[in-house]
Each structure stands twice: as C-alpha cells, then as structure tokens.
Amino acid sequence: MPRITPEAAGGQNVCALLDCIAASEIGPGLLEASDDGYNVLVGSTASAPLLFDSYASHPNVYNPRYRSTAAGRYQLLSRYFSAYKSQLRLPDFGPVSQDRIAIQQIRESRAFDLIVSGQFAQAIAAIAHIWASLPGAGYGQHENQLSVMQAAYLAAGGQLADCEAAP
C-alpha cells in the first residue's frame, strides 16, 4: 500500500493506481522482499533483491545491464528527482515523497481526473509512456496485460466507472 493517505493522494482510486503501478514495476515477490518496493534498485528480483538503505536522497546507482538509475517503488530515474524535489518541496526520497512524485507524474500525463473517475484503461494508456511495464509502453521490455493490471487495481480497492466494468 502506498504510504500517502487517500485524502492526501486525491482518493482511493489514486492509491489503488499507485499499488497497481508498483505491482507492475516491482512485482509481488519483490514488494514483499523489500520495504514494499520503496527501497528497490533497478535490476532487482525477488530472489536477488538490490536494495538501498537510505531515503535521504535518490540513491543514483547506475545499473549498466539496464543502463538505468531507476529506483524506488515507482522506479524513478535519478535525473528527474532534483526537479520533483524542488517542485513538490520534498524533504527526501522517502516513501511519501515517492508517492507524491508518482502522483505528479500521473497529473502531468493528464491521467489524474481519469483515475479519480474510475476510467482505469484510459488512465493506464495515458501513463504507459512513464512506466515501461505497463501495457502499451513500447519500450521493448516486458509489459503486463491490462487485465492483470486491472485485477491489481481492483484488489487494492480501486473502483471502475460503469462504462469500464466487465460485462
């Protein structure tokens, strides 16, 4: 579960989407083997977790195999952290700060109102360019199926708009 409250996030659907993104990016096994994904470095697996131990700042650890500095529950690249830290007046790279950054990325993708109103598939399509594991991302990495993402969203307490409900 995200550490930010539903009230601070903008509602339960937003929190459910954060859980859905984490399940997609980190995976259930690694979420369990870590601090719910908040301390995970890119390239981690449940059987071989690569974790960082300080939330003072983004760890900025480069993984040459993946050519990435992605870290945290939402796998934020190091190069974006300073701008978000300043814009959102974040104290650190702790769990609530990571949640707030992900919510800002959702807003910037114009998906915030979509998810608040339960338009899950449209919200996923709008944010897929940010998270490579989401369906339709197009980065050449493993992409999870929309049905798997929707199941994670619903399991996290998300609600669908009437037009999104399965027949």
Tally of domains in the chain: 1
- CATH code (residue 93): 1.10.530.10
Query: Of 7, 25, 32, 143, which one is the catalytic site residue?
Result: 25
Kindly report the average pLDDT of the chain as a whole number: 95
Q: What percent of the chain has pLDDT over 90?
A: 92
In a domain, 166, yes or no: no
Q: pLDDT digit string (tens) for 98-119? A: 999 999 999 999 999 999 999 9
In a domain, 113, yes or no: yes
Q: What percent of the chain has pLDDT over 70?
A: 97
Q: pLDDT digit string (tens) for 55-79? A: 999 999 999 998 999 999 999 999 9
Any catalytic annotation for residue 7? no
Q: If phi over 0 gives left and psi between -120 and 50 gives alpha, with beta otherwise, what is residue 89?
A: left
- In residues, how long is the chain? 167
In a domain, 29, yes or no: yes
In a domain, 1, yes or no: no
In a domain, 101, yes or no: yes
Q: Which residues form the domain of 131?
A: 6-161
